[in-house]
Amino acid sequence: MLAPTGFGSSISLESCRDPKLAMPPSTGILIGALFLLAGTVAASSVAENACMQCKFLVETFKAGMKKTEKQHFAGGNTDWEERKLGKFATSETRFIEVLEHACKKESLADSKEFDAAKDLKFRCHTLVEEHEEVLEKWFFKKQTSDPDLFDYLCISDLKKCCATGHFGQACEPCPAVQKGLPVCFGRGSCDGNGYRSGTGKCKCEKGYVGHLCSNCDAYFYPIHQNDTAIECGECYDGCASGCTAAGPKGCRSCRSGYTMDGMLGCMDIDECVEGTKCLKDNEVCTNLVGSYRCDCAKGFRRNNNEECEVDIEAQKVINDTTASPETTSDTAPEAGDSEAAAEVHSDL
């Protein structure tokens, strides 16, 4: 039986069932995993944008509150002015004036935090239109009891964000937070921190490992460590199996190119003094930390056969710089003029 391919030809349905033509199971699993990963990344991006848009609304609204807090206060501490200001603080007039500053980057002294957010202004205005009654409720009735507008609007009511140190749809605590400690022991970042997305896993800084980033990585050692904090330092370059302290003496063993000195620890070996390195013609040995390098001697360069041959241009430079002073001095006599030469030397 033939099945249309949609491109003007047909294929046998039996061939689709041919094991040789079937997709390997591992390939199908890999493709599925890639689709799942792409979906997770996209969902995280959407959730982060939604939170940033809400936070932008809050920050610009607060900026409007600041700009209008004494807008109708003429100065002087009269009871009349204070009563007037008190009425204006929660008036419809002020609310409208505050909204005029909302969703505008120019309302903020520094808006760099929101540069990466997509469709920021449009989404912000959409939030205002869809949830203006929530803003009104906070402005007129909740300013005193719930002074944190971000928590009130973005976390509790609209559920666009999580509090710092929490992640995911349910705003679960990031690692270490549930123990009353800094996020990821203060040595890493929590995936999804502050957003309604993410896995909550710690991404540790260099030198730190573990579920909580509370341990030192290989080739790092603890400078300070207790139940609530850790600081790790990097091992000396010559260490082979980690270390217990800083410097050459802290090494447990030495890597190739170093030797263990009983007093000083792992010390660099100068391979060039052995006299068994870089033995080709016109080669010189250059010692490096933990190693060495074979270079061509001055005036030579390495060719395609890895041999050091004469570098004509370099030789010209060498010849020019080593020329005798008599041939370059304005007062020197010409070559072969012995009398003039004798005269010059007698004057000296």
The 10s digit of each residue's pLDDT in 142-166 is 999 999 999 999 999 999 999 999 9
In this structure, the answer to whether residues 167 and 284 fall within a common structural domain is no
At residue 1, does pLDDT exceed 60? no
**Same domain as 258, residue 216:** no
* Domain-embedded: residue 251: yes
pLDDT at res. 289: 86
How many C-beta atoms surround the C-beta of residue 131 within 10 A?
Answer: 16
pLDDT at 290 (0 to 100): 87
Reply yes or no on whether the pLDDT at 36 is more than 50: no
Same domain, 255 and 311: no
Same domain, yes or no: 48 and 153: yes
Examine the domain organization and report whether 179 and 147 are in the same domain.
Answer: no
149 and 172 fall within a common domain: no
User: Is the residue at 15 inside a domain?
Assistant: no
- Please tell me the least confidently modeled range out of 8-12, 42-46, 272-276, 320-324: 8-12
Residue written as token pair 């690692």: 175
Within-domain flag for 16: no
Structure confidence at residue 27 (pLDDT): 56
| Residues 280 and 294 sit within 8 Å (Cβ to Cβ) | yes
Q: What is the pLDDT of residues 186-199, one digit of tens each?
A: 999 999 999 999 99
- Work out how many domains the chain is built from and give that number: 4
Residue 313 is predicted with a pLDDT of 81
Average pLDDT of the chain?
82
Same domain membership, residue 283 and residue 246: no
Q: Per the domain annotation, does 3 fall within a domain?
A: no
User: Is residue 19 assigned to a domain?
Assistant: no
* pLDDT band at 69; cut points 50, 70, 90: confident
Q: How far apart are CA 152 and CA 140, in angstroms?
A: 13
Instruction: Give the structural domain span for 260.
Output: 235-269
* Statement to judge: residues 144 and 258 lie in one domain: no
Question: What are the phi and psi torsion angles at 12 (to 5°)?
Answer: -75, 130
In a domain, 126, yes or no: yes
Question: In this structure, is residue 285 part of a structural domain?
Answer: yes
What pLDDT, in 10s, does the model give residues 213-223?
A: 999 999 999 99
Is residue 198 within 8 A of residue 204, CB to CB? The reply is: no
Q: Is the pLDDT of residue 282 over 70?
A: yes
Burial class from Cβ neighbours inside 10 Å (0-12, 13-18, 19+) for residue 332 reads: middle
* Residues 97 and 203 grouped into a single domain: no
Instruction: Please check the confidence at residue 347 and state whether its pLDDT lies above 50.
Output: no
Which is higher by pLDDT, 73 or 315?
315
Domain match, 155 and 262 both: no
Note the pLDDT of residue 334: 46
Q: Check which CATH number belongs to the domain holding 279 and give it.
A: 2.10.25
Residue 144 resides in a domain: yes
Same domain? For 118 and 38 the reply is yes
Among the residue ranges 64-73, 180-189, 197-206, 262-271, the one predicted with the least confidence is 64-73
- Please check whether residues 57 and 113 belong to one and the same domain: yes
* Gap between the terminal Cα atoms of the chain: 112
- The separation between CA 338 and the C-alpha centre of its own chain, rounded to angstroms, equals 73
